[in-house]
Amino acid sequence: DTGVSQDPRHKITKRGQNVTFRCDPISEHNRLYWYRQTLGQGPEFLTYFQNEAQLEKSRLLSDRFSAERPKGSFSTLEIQRTEQGDSAMYLCASRRQGSTEAFFGQGTRLTVV
Amino acid sequence: GIQVEQSPPDLILQEGANSTLRCNFSDSVNNLQWFHQNPWGQLINLFYIPSGTKQNGRLSATTVATERYSLLYISSSQTTDSGVYFCAVERNYGQNFVFGPGTRLSVLP
């Protein structure tokens, strides 16, 4: 296993711009999760996929956020019209269906200026 | 939804000391994991422990599911143990984890 990979590791953007993050899960892991972590807090769930189907979305996922996993492999998380409150670490995790453990990537740290 | 509390929020230790971190959760769970978040933000799996006791080197964990708490023990702490320790629970397998607020551990040389 090469681990969960996220790109970019850091992103600085101006308020109002759109940003997109990518997550490559561990191969054969059909479940993929996105979490957001603000400074000093624990990660909070945003959404998850089983294969290409988006099965659950948190109320934290406003209409400016969209996530996709078109072929059931990598996933993208897009934030439109970024706001300063979007500044956070965005974490991706994956797991094999039926497995008890989830594995996290190193995250993408977003700073909106 | 389920609530997760962790204590203490912050802990400062001298190298070599032992510590106990606690996680309380408000409802029955099928899954509980302990993670260590290193200074670069990576969440490292420590234990999958919905019940019982496990040990891995200097770390061990115990979950008493009927009383809805879990403990993480760190013995002979090292500076590399510094970081934030999170407890995360799932009501049912495969659903999203609910994380606690974490315990920030600083181990001084």
Instruction: Provide the domain count of chain B.
Output: 1
pLDDT tops 90 at residue B46? yes
Q: Nearest chain A Cα to B41, which residue? A: A106
Whether B57 is covered by a domain: the verdict is: yes
Point out the residue among B45, B94, B99 whose CB comes nearest to the CB of A43: B99
pLDDT per residue over A72-109, tens digit each?
A: 899 999 999 999 999 999 999 999 888 888 899 999 99
- Looking at per-residue confidence, does A1 or B40 come out higher? B40
pLDDT tops 80 at residue B94? no
Residue B39, pLDDT score? 85
**Would you say B57 and B75 are in contact if contact means Cβ atoms under 8 Å apart?**
no
Can you give the CATH number for the domain in which B93 is found?
2.60.40.10
Where would I find the H helices in A1-113?
A: none
Residue A2, pLDDT score? 72
Whether B94 is covered by a domain: the verdict is: yes
Interatomic CA distance for residues B53 and B77, integer angstroms: 20
Interatomic CA distance for residues B102 and A41, integer angstroms: 7
- Interface test mutation site (partner B, options A47, A104, A108, A110, max chain B beta carbons within 10 A): A104
CB contact under 8 A, B96 and A33: yes
Whether B25 is covered by a domain: the verdict is: yes
pLDDT per residue over A7-65, tens digit each?
A: 999 999 999 999 999 999 999 899 999 999 999 999 999 999 999 999 999 988 889 99
The two beta strands, A10-13 and A108-112, are parallel
Whether B92 is covered by a domain: the verdict is: yes
Interatomic CA distance for residues A91 and A105, integer angstroms: 6
pLDDT tops 70 at residue B96? yes
Residue A72, pLDDT score? 85
Whether B107 is covered by a domain: the verdict is: no
Summarize the confidence of residues B49-64 as an average pLDDT. 96
pLDDT tops 60 at residue A1? no
**Domain carrying residue B59:** 4-102
Residue A7, pLDDT score? 97
Q: Which residues of B touch A97 (CB under 8 A)?
A: 94
Q: What percent of chain B has pLDDT over 70?
A: 98
Interatomic CA distance for residues B31 and B33, integer angstroms: 7
Whether B15 is covered by a domain: the verdict is: yes
Interatomic CA distance for residues A84 and A95, integer angstroms: 31
Whether B109 is covered by a domain: the verdict is: no
Whether B108 is covered by a domain: the verdict is: no
Mean pLDDT of chain B, nearest integer: 94
